[in-house]
Amino acid sequence: MTLTTPSDKALVPFVSVDNMMQLIHHIGIEQMLRDLAGYVEEDFKRWELFDKTPRVASHSDVGVIELMPTSDGEAYGFKYVNGHPKNTSEGLQTVTAFGLLADVYTGYPVLLTEMTILTALRTAATSAMAAKYLAPKGADTMAMIGNGAQSEFQTLAMKAIIGLKSVRLYDKDAAATEKCARNLQGLGVEVVSCKTPEDAIEGAQILTTCTADKQYATILTDNMVGSGVHINAIGGDCPGKTELAAGILSRSDVFVEYPPQTRIEGEIQQMPEDFAVTELWEVIAGRKQGRTGDRQITLFDSVGFAIEDFSALRYIRDRIKGTGYFTELDMLADPDDPRDLFGMLQRAKG
Ligand code: NAD
């Protein structure tokens, strides 16, 4: 499908942070989380036709900068994203991102957008989509360990998609828990602030770990995890950065996005290379089983994969049509005579 024609002035729709926030309020955040989960689910069902590669990561002592590309043959998308746990102490975000969608036929970009907020939404929507297939039936209480930038999004997606009723918050920094509890006031989820991770997991059927620390951390130790729960492990997403004791992985059925990437970045980096995992897309496509019993521990070892960003880019492209929630960028040189790039430059002179 051609998305641009030679006679079009090749302006590229751009969604700024401000326009993204307005768009979210226009659609309604819970509706948008449900919509995004729907787009991700649709793309997971056609997983095999995508180009797939582990993301391209450039590591430094303080963080990582990554490119996440994929294509379904008609559109091509990539996200630029960083992960810098030390940033919050300097008043900066741990994770920021922007992304681009292009037409495979012409190679021309068709969308440029902020993706810091969109990443929080797509990560949360993907977590809740996974929980829909993996969490115990009727799960309505979640422990949320790590109450930073992602935490409210994670909570609201679980409410919007699987009907979460109660969230139990814990963060090593009490100010983060206070912030999260304040932000969730009046949004239809009971909020319980906890002083220890042990207290947070009390009575929860879903355990979400969403901390940021560049080390092999043990946010959950083996003896904290009883049978029958679903673990939504979000924060272990880089080599040398994990959140769970290895013993938990041995007792769980582990579901992943793209194994070649997760084996490098996920909780399973702690396990042997042939450690058995199930690809989440196969569960969603009905080829493999998700939860099979009441006592089973299911674990979504989330690292964030390019197809989820592609789905989010696709959604934004579809949803901004006919709205004012974007501007147009003159970012492609587009001379009338395609071979006269130099002439166009000359004509622009004074
Ligand atoms: P953030 O820095 O805003 O919040 C992290 C929180 O974790 C902070 O409040 C911090 O105090 C808390 N924390 C750190 N160590 C802790 C510990 N031992 N116990 C309890 N709390 C602890 O970061 P964020 O943007 O919310 O991201 C959280 C994590 O999720 C990061 O590691 C990020 O890389 C990851 N992430 C993963 C995906 C994905 O797709 N899987 C997407 C986005 C972010």
Summarize the confidence of residues 42-59 as an average pLDDT: 97
Residues 140 and 231 in one domain: yes
Structure tokens at 250: 């041995």
Residue 4 located in a structural domain: no
pLDDT band of residue 338 (cuts 50, 70, 90) is very high
pLDDT over threshold 90, residue 2: no
Determine the distance separating the centroid of ligand 1 and the alpha carbon of 261, expressed in angstroms: 19
Residue 70 located in a structural domain: yes
Domain that holds residue 341: 12-117+307-347
* pLDDT tens, position by position, 26-48: 999 999 999 999 999 999 999 99
Percent of the chain with pLDDT strictly greater than 70:
97
Structure tokens at 50: 């995508």
pLDDT over threshold 80, residue 18: yes
Residues 284 and 318 in one domain: no
Which residue CA neighbors atom 7 of ligand 1 most closely?
211
pLDDT over threshold 50, residue 174: yes
pLDDT band of residue 76 (cuts 50, 70, 90) is very high
The Cβ of residue 38 has, within 10 Å, a number of other Cβ atoms equal to 15
pTM assigned to the model: 0.95
Determine the distance separating the centroid of ligand 1 and the alpha carbon of 215, expressed in angstroms: 12
Give the chain's mean pLDDT.
95
For residues 127 and 234, is the Cβ–Cβ distance under 8 A?
yes
Determine the distance separating the centroid of ligand 1 and the alpha carbon of 313, expressed in angstroms: 23
Counting ligand 1 atoms within 8 A of each CB, the residue from 55, 84, 150, 168 with the most, and so the one to mutate, is 150
Residues 244 and 331 in one domain: no
Residues 143 and 288 in one domain: yes
pLDDT band of residue 168 (cuts 50, 70, 90) is very high
Residues 96 and 165 in one domain: no
Residues 147 and 251 in one domain: yes
Residue 130 located in a structural domain: no
Summarize the confidence of residues 155-167 as an average pLDDT: 98
pLDDT band of residue 5 (cuts 50, 70, 90) is very low
pLDDT of residue 1: 41
Residue 1 located in a structural domain: no
| Number of domains comprising the chain | 2
In this structure, the residues whose C-beta lies within 6 A of any atom of ligand 1 are: 83, 88, 94-95, 119, 123, 145-150, 171-173, 176, 210-213, 217, 219, 234-235, 237, 302-304
Which residue CA neighbors atom 41 of ligand 1 most closely?
303
pLDDT over threshold 70, residue 3: no
Atom from ligand 1 closest to the CA of residue 304: 40
Residue 107 located in a structural domain: yes
Residue 258's identity, in one-letter code, is Y
pLDDT of residue 220: 96
pLDDT band of residue 8 (cuts 50, 70, 90) is low
Residues 64 and 208 in one domain: no
Residue 129 located in a structural domain: no
Counting ligand 1 atoms within 8 A of each CB, the residue from 59, 65, 88, 94 with the most, and so the one to mutate, is 94
Q: Is 237 a catalytic residue?
A: yes
Instruction: Using DSSP bridges, classify how beta strands 230-233 and 297-301 pair: parallel, antiparallel or unpaired.
Output: parallel
Dihedral angle over CA of 139, 150, 56, 278, nearest 10: 0
Closest CA to 276 of 288, 294, 285, 293: 288
Residues 92 and 222 in one domain: no
Residue 92 located in a structural domain: yes
pLDDT of residue 4: 45
| H runs (alpha helix) in 208-305 | 246-251, 259-265, 280-284
Longest dimension (CA), the chain: 75
* pLDDT tens, position by position, 133-142: 999 999 999 9
For residues 201 and 232, is the Cβ–Cβ distance under 8 A?
no
Determine the distance separating the centroid of ligand 1 and the alpha carbon of 97, expressed in angstroms: 15
Any idea what the CATH number is for the domain that residue 45 is in?
3.30.1780.10
pLDDT over threshold 70, residue 6: no
Residues 272 and 337 in one domain: no
pLDDT band of residue 103 (cuts 50, 70, 90) is very high
Which residue CA neighbors atom 36 of ligand 1 most closely?
235
Q: Which of 35, 72, 140, 237 is catalytic?
A: 237
pLDDT of residue 122: 98
